[in-house]
């Protein structure tokens, strides 16, 4: 697994050098339809090993937290901090996310296999007491299989089914190391300007569990809901355990035009697991920044 993460990290770094050129060649890439995102129609297919945006790409210059996680804890005592940190309530945040298709036309010439990579960073850039250090970095490589469908339902259509192998870790040392592996199933639905994606998952067992009760807090699945209107986009990311009331989170986003291709981004988060180190830590956060690519 370490070699897979290293390979995808190196691949993503080199890909960043050409990312803007490729993205600029796609008109109105920020408001693509679900079919365009995953090249589900035969006339949308562009072949393999073309880099494109995956999850939202944004930079938040100022993110405020109601409850910074100064003493990260885990149900595994080996991964519980004993010395508190001096984190500020205000920090910067950014996310990079890209994907590329590696196999096209699997199973009756319809299914595709993708590799995705997402990296989130929380940077205490305004905190001189800890030398403006990065508080948390999350690395998320994925192997994704998408299969197109076309099923009418309540005025819209189910557009795809599939599954993915997902690894997420923060690359930290004891006691702040966090990681987990999942098999995630997905179902994509599109209706007019609405796109809804359902993603339940199964957590895979770890030999040394750094976060034993992570699904009790972050949950057992995710629902993404996005609505686009001209150059505006609203999207939410909701997680929940589904087998209990407590736990989960909701993230609300508004992306709006500023000038030309520059778009502003407002993000509100409430709940558990904004980052891996915060998987069992509840907080409310709000951030303002700029967005470069969305769902």
- Residue 14's contacts (CB-CB under 8 Å, 6 or more residues apart) are none
Task: Of 164, 228, 166, give the one whose Cα is nearest residue 196.
Answer: 228
Q: Would you state the pLDDT for residue 230?
A: 86
Mean pLDDT calculated for residue range 209-233? 95
SS3 category, 6: helix
Residue labelled with tokens 């040392």: 173
Predicted pLDDT at 6: 44
3 state SS of 240: coil
The predicted model gives 85-92 an average pLDDT of: 97
Distance CA 83, CA 71 (A): 7
Q: Catalytic residue numbers?
A: 167, 169
Return d(Cα 236, Cα 66) in angstroms, integer. 20
Angle at CA of residue 210, ends 219 and 135, nearest 5°: 85
pLDDT tens digits for range 238-286 = 999 998 889 999 999 999 999 888 999 999 999 999 999 999 999 999 9
User: How many CB atoms lie under 10 A from the CB of residue 255?
Assistant: 26
> What span, in angstroms and rounded, lies between the C-alpha atoms of 241 and 275?
17
User: What pLDDT shows up at residue 114?
Assistant: 98
Between CA 217 and CA 240 the distance in angstroms is: 8
Peptide bond into 126 cis (omega under 30): no
CB distance 148 to 33 below 8 Å: no
What's the start-to-end Cα distance of the chain, in Å?
27
Task: State residue 14's pLDDT score.
Answer: 46
Residue 23: pLDDT above 50? no
Residues 178-215: pLDDT tens digits?
999 999 999 999 999 999 999 999 999 988 999 999 99
In terms of DSSP bridges, do strands 90-105 and 179-191 run parallel, antiparallel, or are they unpaired? unpaired
């Amino acid at each position: 697994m370490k070699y897979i993460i290293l390979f995808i990290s190196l691949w993503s770094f080199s890909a960043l050098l050409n990312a803007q050129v490729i993205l600029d060649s796609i008109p109105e890439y920020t408001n693509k339809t679900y079919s365009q995102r995953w090249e589900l129609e035969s006339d949308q297919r562009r072949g393999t090993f073309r880099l494109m945006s995956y999850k939202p790409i944004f930079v938040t210059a100022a993110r405020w937290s109601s409850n910074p996680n100064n003493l990260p804890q885990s149900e595994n005592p080996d991964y519980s901090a004993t010395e508190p940190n001096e984190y500020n309530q205000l920090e910067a945040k950014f996310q990079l996310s890209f994907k590329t298709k590696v196999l096209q036309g699997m199973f009756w010439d319809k299914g595709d296999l993708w590799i995705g990579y997402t990296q989130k960073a929380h940077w205490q850039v305004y905190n001189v007491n800890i030398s403006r250090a990065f508080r948390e970095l999350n690395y998320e490589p994925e192997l994704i299989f998408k299969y197109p469908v076309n099923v009418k339902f309540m005025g819209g259509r189910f557009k795809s089914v599939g599954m993915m192998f997902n690894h997420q870790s923060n690359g930290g040392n004891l006691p702040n190391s966090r990681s987990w592996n999942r098999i995630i199933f997905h179902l994509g639905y599109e209706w007019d300007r609405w796109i809804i994606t359902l993603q339940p998952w199964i957590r895979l067992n770890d030999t040394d569990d750094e976060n034993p009760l992570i699904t009790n807090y972050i949950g057992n699945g995710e629902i993404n809901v996005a609505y686009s209107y001209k150059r505006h986009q609203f999207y939410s990311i909701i997680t929940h355990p589904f087998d209990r009331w407590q736990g989960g989170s909701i993230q609300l986003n508004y992306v709006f035009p500023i000038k030309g291709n520059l778009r502003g981004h407002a993000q509100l988060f409430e709940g558990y697991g904004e980052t891996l180190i915060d998987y069992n830590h509840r907080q409310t956060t709000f951030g303002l920044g700029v967005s470069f690519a969305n769902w």
